[in-house]
C-alpha cells in the first residue's frame, strides 16, 4: 500500500541532544513537508521541499534542520538549539506544481525531551 511512514512513533531524548525523525513515502510525490503540532495551536510548518536537494524554511524553522537526498525520504533533525522541542511532529507529501493537489499525512512522531 502506498503511504507515508514516520518512525519511531514515540521518541524520548535528553535535553541538549540532537534527534532525527524519519519520514519515508512511496507515493512518488515530489513535495514533502514537516509540521509541528502543539495543543491548541494547530499545525505549523517547519520545512518543506519540492524537489530533491532543495528545501525551504517554513514558519518555525529555527532549531531544526532537514535534508532531501532522495525523493522518498525527508528526515528532520531537532537540534539542541530548539528551545521547546517536545511536540507531535507530522510529515506530509503531495504532488508538486500540479493544480488541485492535496497533502497526505503520516501517523506522526511524538517527541518528548526530558
In whole angstroms, how close is the CB of 43 to other proteins at the nearest point?
4
Which triple of cell numbers denotes residue 105?
499525512
Interface residues for other proteins in 27-46 (CB under 8 A)?
31-33, 35, 40-45
**Residue 16 DSSP one-character state:** T
Q: Which residues contact 105 (CB under 8 A, 6 or more apart)?
A: 4, 90, 91, 92
Q: Which is nearer to other proteins, 6 or 82 (CB)?
A: 6
In angstroms, the CA 30 to CA 97 distance is 9
Residue of 76, 93, 111, 113 interacting with other proteins (CB under 8 A): 93
Residues that bind other proteins (CB under 8 A): 4, 6, 31-33, 35, 40-45, 48, 50, 58, 88, 90, 92-108, 110
Amino acid at each position: 500500500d502506498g503511504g507515508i511512514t514516520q518512525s519511531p512513533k514515540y521518541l524520548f531524548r535528553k535535553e541538549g541532544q540532537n534527534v532525527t525523525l524519519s519520514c519515508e513515502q512511496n507515493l512518488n510525490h515530489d513535495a514533502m513537508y514537516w509540521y509541528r503540532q502543539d495543543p491548541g495551536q494547530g499545525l505549523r510548518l517547519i520545512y518543506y521541499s519540492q524537489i530533491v536537494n532543495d528545501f525551504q524554511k517554513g514558519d518555525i524553522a529555527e532549531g531544526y534542520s532537514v535534508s532531501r537526498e532522495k525523493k522518498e525520504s525527508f528526515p528532520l533533525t531537532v537540534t539542541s538549539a530548539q528551545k521547546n522541542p517536545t511536540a507531535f511532529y507530522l510529515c506530509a507529501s503531495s504532488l508538486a506544481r500540479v493544480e488541485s493537489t492535496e497533502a497526505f499525512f503520516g501517523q506522526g512522531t511524538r517527541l518528548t525531551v526530558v
